[in-house]
Amino acid sequence: MAEPIDFSATRGLEECMDGPCSYEELRDCLRHLAWLNQLTRAHRPVLQWVERVADSQSGRDRPLRIVDVGCGYGDMLRSIERWASQRGVAVELVGADVNANAVRVAREASPATSRITWVHATCAFARKLPTPIW
């Protein structure tokens, strides 16, 4: 069994990602994270959950609304959009990020055909949405 990682030495250190950095630096970092997500199949459990929700809601008269708070590169939502398109499931997808540059990165990484809405906002935005997420 692997030894637990000791993070105590990192306590108090600033997370570089949340510190000021250029658009290009953030874009490269988020792109790298998206690559890691792909490598580790990080989207899979979320897609399985979305599939279960969609199945339990079949017959609904409005789209499934999913908000990704802290969307970063936006790759999770683009995966959901591809899945929904293949399955013919109506979705309304919103990506929110507190960092305006991340919102720009997510938008620029999306194909012109994408209908995902990208917003510069914090998690407080999601709490104010008028209707439940699903």
Ligand X SMILES: C[S@@+](CC[C@H](N)C(=O)[O-])C[C@H]1O[C@@H](n2cnc3c(N)ncnc32)[C@H](O)[C@@H]1O
Which one of 1-9, 48-56, 57-65, 98-106 is the stretch in contact with ligand X (CB under 6 A)? 98-106
Say whether residue 99 binds ligand X (CB under 6 A): yes
Encoding tokens for residue 57? 């809601």
Say whether residue 21 binds ligand X (CB under 6 A): no
Shortest spacing between CB 61 and ligand X, in angstroms: 30
DSSP string, 38-95: HHTTTTHHHHHHHHHHHHHTTT-SSPEEEEEET-TT-HHHHHHHHHHHHHT--EEEEE
Say whether residue 33 binds ligand X (CB under 6 A): yes
Number of residues this chain uses to bind ligand X (CB under 6 A): 15
The three-state DSSP-derived secondary structure of 88-133 is CCCEEEEEEECCHHHHHHHHHCCCCCCCCEEEECCHHHHHCCCCCC
Say whether residue 67 binds ligand X (CB under 6 A): no
Shortest spacing between CB 121 and ligand X, in angstroms: 7
The smaller minimum CB distance to ligand X, of residues 35 and 55, is found at: 35
Say whether residue 129 binds ligand X (CB under 6 A): no
What is the binding site for ligand X (CB under 6 A)?
17, 33, 37, 69-73, 96-99, 102, 122-123
